[in-house]
Structure 1
């Protein structure tokens, strides 16, 4: 039996959970987020800033944030960068940051530094203020227990298509062109 009082053990577990959430989320390039009412979790890029995962999206050229609303609940799954296995799953509350507020400015400064392939990088903060939503996903407590069984889901609907098989005669036609040239 443990000689620690139960309250002390709960405090230590809460601190461990908080450290696990922060370290795993900080090191992960993507997090999988399912907002309230969303059909499936989506991979979202983020930065960890001041105790929360910060996201930008719902604007032209930015990632969609389905089901994530101010004050809404979300489930966040963090996977390993190298192996892709689930490290931790945690619950969060989404908080929309108001453009121009001190929290918004600090979060956008971090997000801007991590935004890859951004057109017009000097104008990102102004564009995000006009057209996008910046959210903080604040952990609500303990980590979720590991899932039992498979969590495989069918792919989300998309207008993308797969290539059709190459016509059987095409390789011969291409080979003929190379011989003539």
Structure 2
């Protein structure tokens, strides 16, 4: 671990509520997550968060933030998709469902919906030898321009009922 102790990695995982996850050379997506032991658990798929390629991937890059909100480490992670009905699914999916904001129904109902609709619940386990932290993090911001989306709308000038005079 270049510049990062195992304690920093463990603390970053324990405090993770959101992680930026990218698959291969794709863009990083902000995904809400749940810490589980020395890994994080994420759900994606129909009706849930968008994470293209994550369900089929074997490795992903995870970026975690610190208490100040800035990037503190980048790590390659092993992706394990949990199988519905398996021991890990039965343990972690209901716990993850309780963390889901604005979900209708009970946690067990939500986990059953995930299983029935083909959602992927994945465990991202960091490879300890791939952790990059301060001072080895890149100095640039790594910000990307906004991706094209049909949701983007041109803003109109505000409506004015009466003419405003300049003095």
> Mapping of 1:1-181 within 5 angstroms?
17-38=5-26, 40-60=27-47, 62-70=48-56, 72-81=58-67, 83-122=68-107, 123-131=109-117, 132-142=119-129, 143-144=131-132, 145-167=136-158, 170-172=159-161
Identify unmatched segments of 5+ residues in structure 1.
Answer: 1-12, 174-181
Alpha-carbon separation, structure 2, partners of 1:141 and 1:72: 16
Question: Runs of 4 or more off by more than 6 Å in structure 1?
Answer: none
Partners of 1:107 and 1:41 lie apart in 2 by: 24
The number of equivalent residue pairs is 155
**Superposition CA RMSD, Å:** 2.1
Query: 5+ unaligned residues in a row in structure 2: which ranges?
Result: 163-167
- Choose between structure 1 and 2 for higher RCO, CA contacts under 8 A separated by at least 6 residues: 2
Tell me the TM-score normalized by structure 2.
0.82
Larger Rg: 1
1:25 is displaced (CA, Å) by 2.4
